[in-house]
Amino acid sequence: MKDKYVVVLSDIHMGTNSPTVWYCKEIHEKYLLAILNDIINCADQIEEVILLGDIFEFWAYPPDALPPTINDIIEANPNVLGPYGKLVQALSALKGRMTYISGDHDMNVTQAELNKIRSNDGYTIKFHYGAYFPYYDSGIKFIHGHEFTILNAPYFASRIAPIPIGHFVCRAFAYKVQSILKKTQEESICMLEDYSACNYNDFLPLLPFYYEHFSKDTNVISNFVDALIDATGIPGDMPILVNPFYSATLYDVKTIYQSQELVSEKLELKDIIDDFNKKNFSEKIMNHCVEREVDTVVMGHTHSPSIFKNDEIMYVTTGCMCPSVSKMQTNPITYGLYNLSERKFELIKAIGESRVTIIPYEKKNEDDNQAACNIKTEETSKYPSKIFTFGWSVFDTSQEFWEEMQMGVLNKAKELGINIIVHDEKRNTIEMITGSIDLISQGINALIIAPFNPELLPVITANAEKYNIPVVAIDTGTGGANVVAFIVSDNFGGGILAGEYALNLIKSHGIESKNFAIIKVQKTAKYSLLRGEGFKSVLLAQGFYLVTEVTANSEESEAYVEMQKILISYGNDLAVVFCENGTMAIGASRAINEAGKKNIIMLIGFDAGPRVIDAIKAGDLQGTIAQQPYRMGQIGVEIANTYLLGNPITFDDWREKIILMEVFLVDETGTVQNNVT
């Protein structure tokens, strides 16, 4: 049997080919294509490819340039990211075995954005929240590493969260690099000798950290910003475009980052300097690994490739894939290769001008560490993994949506070696509260809940807090409860998608009526109600009239009755009906069929369980919005596990702790689409 491998790529920093971005297509692309070709050719031997952060570059742009979108980066790099690009080909060859863990320069990346990179056979890159402990080796941890720094760790106490102060460091140095390029007439930062991507000492060569200017009475962040202004020459009052709606000057930055997270009695200037000291930085990671019972940690971030062993912990940094031309010999393009059966990690480099060659990377170890670069960890040194037990309280498994979500929870827990205790709320508030509190009393490590009545979730979280049990909520809402994370579909966006599709249906079916109706879920389902709001906004903007909104409480039988009432009042002048879930759409379709209005009144649902898909194939529904209940269940387990291991979590909405799940349109032919054309 052939050995299986894990390939780890990090710190590509692929952007829009701006002169201030480290990755230069003309210089670096050929190496990346060669590496991806190697992955494609060996796909059968590869267990997984891990994209370990800073794959994309959203920071290193001059102050007056708006940071790009993922679409901008895809468009600028078609040979890698386009429909026929090598990364897409690799994704297909691997049959989707590719995981993305964000870094600092790409911390804004979400699953929805990664879904724009899709192979022709439907595979997408899986986005993983926080540190990654793969199912195939519980003793290894993958994390980008910026989470352990002062300047680049996500910063939550501002209106531009999670952007850290490090973002503005990059923007300021992009200003300086832009000025140098004008003077030297070089085309790109990768042609400059003093400003390479190889390590932070090169990146910040002139930053004047003067200890003699620092005392306990001065403000560290203010001093740091003043030093940054001196080092880069950027005016302190120059606006730096952060997004289309917000800009900030470095003078603003002095006040933005003044929370206790950065300014405290324990924070000194040397702590900031340690961010750029590779030895000190690795020690921070190592201490964390000892606490978390792993024997191998793999990360990027430092841009300096190394492997060494500290006591019983193997420490790996994969280097970078965008060195400057002057650094190619001493700091070549490198990535990681992990042999699963031997538990052996080695670094690989890509070299050559006219022909790229991929060979093992060897480098003498630094300081007093004598371990070899591709040292093998001993089987006996592997730490036992702590076994967690999670409680899972589910809305109602008699409905397909929740049954599928539960399968995601159970399968992901099995993959991670986590025990699960299941409680079915059976669409009952008392069952939800008493059952969840019973789970808490059983000594679980975390509670994952899809609450029937989210307004009463605070009662449950208050009980959980007494025992320091984290709570992860899925789908229906939180009721303002203090949860670790809330995983929910993009309901409003899904409603808009359904509305745009409804307009297409009305036109293609030659329907003249301008009236529409909405059958709504229960009033306590705050987030699900956004589906109707999104749908309504599209049709009202096009001159249609909402003749009625009725509530059927997510029940098929109630939707059947309400649809009958709608048909009595508006059946002869009604273009489309939108149901806020799939179960109600089934009930409404039965009433429409009985009234002889099939394919005369358009019907669109929200959910894509087997019964809904069968109804579409039978022509009883003209479309639906597909959620990802199975994946939502998986992520619930991943998030709880990540939290218990003390690792950071990435959110789409940092204030509400929301993780937003992409939704898809299933049209009247049963075809899944990303958007409406």
Are 151 and 272 within 8 A, CB to CB? yes
The pair of structure tokens assigned to 632 is: 């939502």
Which residues touch 197 (CB under 8 Å, ≥6 apart)? Answer: 11, 13, 22, 190, 203, 303, 320, 322, 323, 324
Q: Cα separations (Å) of 307 from 101, 295, 668?
A: 20, 13, 54
CA distance 13 to 60: 9
Q: Which residue has the tokens 């989707």?
A: 96
Instruction: Give the residue-averaged pLDDT of 15-34.
Output: 94
Judged against a pLDDT cut of 70, whether residue 282 lies above it is answered with no
Q: Which of 40-54, 152-166, 262-276, 526-540 has the lowest mean pLDDT?
A: 262-276
pLDDT given for residue 221 in this prediction: 81
Domain boundaries, the chain: 5-145+278-379, 165-274, 491-629+665-673
pLDDT band at 373 (very low <50, low <70, confident <90, very high): very low
Judged against a pLDDT cut of 50, whether residue 37 lies above it is answered with yes
Q: Which CATH number fits domain 491-629+665-673: 3.30.300.20, 3.40.50.2300, 3.30.70.1520, 1.10.730.10?
A: 3.40.50.2300
Segment 622-663, tens digit of pLDDT: 999 999 999 999 999 999 998 998 777 878 887 889 998 989
How many other C-beta atoms lie within 10 A of the C-beta of residue 233? 11
CATH 3.60.21.10 matches 5-145+278-379: yes
Are 618 and 669 within 8 A, CB to CB? no
Which residues touch 326 (CB under 8 Å, ≥6 apart)? Answer: 192, 193, 196
Segment 307-362, tens digit of pLDDT: 877 767 888 999 888 888 877 877 889 999 999 988 999 999 988 765 666 666 65
pLDDT given for residue 79 in this prediction: 97
How would you class 392 by CB atoms within 10 Å of its CB: exposed for 0-12, middle for 13-18, buried for 19 or more?
Answer: buried
Q: Which of 62-76, 127-141, 458-472, 561-575 has the lowest mean pLDDT?
A: 127-141
pLDDT given for residue 311 in this prediction: 67
CA distance 549 to 456: 26
* Mean of per-residue pLDDT scores for the chain: 85
First to last CA, the chain: 48
Which residues touch 530 (CB under 8 Å, ≥6 apart)? Answer: 491, 492, 495
Task: State the number of CA atoms in the 13 A half-sphere of 322 facing the CB.
Answer: 29
CA distance 478 to 456: 8
Q: Is-cis flag, bond preceding 62, omega within 30?
A: no
Are 91 and 119 within 8 A, CB to CB? yes
